A and B are shown apart, each in its own frame.
Chain A
Amino acid sequence: RKEVEQDPGPFNVPEGATVAFNCTYSNSASQSFFWYRQDCRKEPKLLMSVYSSGNEDGRFTAQLNRASQYISLLIRDSKLSDSATYLCVVGYNNNDMRFGAGTRLTVKP
């Protein structure tokens, strides 16, 4: 079983749509959770950390369910600039991170 699994995608949505990404992780000892975005041939960039209580940053909302070992990211009112690959990332005790394979999002006019 993969350590971090994500929706395979790709997701193709119109501008203004709401889109949700899901992620599951296998190691119950995981301690930190993040969503990164990666543009084509660029480095991953932190989008947001994910907290147990859930957190929101503008149009982005992240949720964590430790019991189900499940993380989600919701993007509302999607923009063309949201087109990227979204990486679910899980950290362990010493902050070593394990990346999901990513879900590609394309927002179309």
Chain B
Amino acid sequence: EPEVTQTPSHQVTQMGQEVILRCVPISNHLYFYWYRQILGQKVEFLVSFYNNEISEKSEIFDDQFSVERPDGSNFTLKIRSTKLEDSAMYFCATQGPTRGRGEQYFGPGTRLTVT
């Protein structure tokens, strides 16, 4: 069964450093998402991406965040200057080629720890 993969599984970084989280979507999926989940809290939407551009972003997704699909397969989330409060689990999710009621499939997540 096709699955979404994410790397790294765990990233430890110092405050102020840049991090790039990577996701490989399911091959025929066209809609991509990033979510975060702070430990013990709910899953929060960050951004959605379709046709090489952001289609929606939340208030969490400020200028420190960016996304891109550099090579047509990987989908990345970059945090330019990490803060302590960025420590969380970051999930990539992807959705199939048809818009509408499509379900999203989540990767296993990257645990980001900012020290």
- List A residues at the B interface (Cβ < 8 Å): 31-32, 34, 38, 41-46, 49, 87, 91, 94-102
Residue from the list A38, A41, A95, A98 in contact with B104, Cβ < 8 A? A95
Report chain A residues within 8 Å CB of B50: 94
Expressed in whole angstroms, the minimum distance between the Cβ of B39 and any Cβ of chain A is 9
Q: Which residues of B are at the interface with A, using a C-beta cutoff of 8 A?
A: 31, 33, 35, 41-45, 48, 50, 55-56, 89, 91, 95, 99-109
Q: Is the Cβ of A49 less than 8 Å from the Cβ of B103?
A: yes
A63, chain B: closest CB distance, angstroms: 17
Residue of B nearest to A87 (CB): B43
Asked whether A46 and B42 contact (CB < 8 A) given A94-B48, A95-B31, A95-B95, the answer is no
In the complex, A3→B104 CA distance in Å?
Answer: 19
Partner of B107, one of A43, A49, A101: A43
Question: 9 tightest A-B contacts by CB?
Answer: A43-B106, A99-B43, A101-B42, A32-B101, A96-B56, A46-B103, A44-B106, A99-B42, A94-B55
B43 to chain A minimum Cβ distance, whole angstroms, is 4
Whether A31 touches B101, Cβ cut-off 8 Å, given contacts A43-B91, A43-B108, is: yes
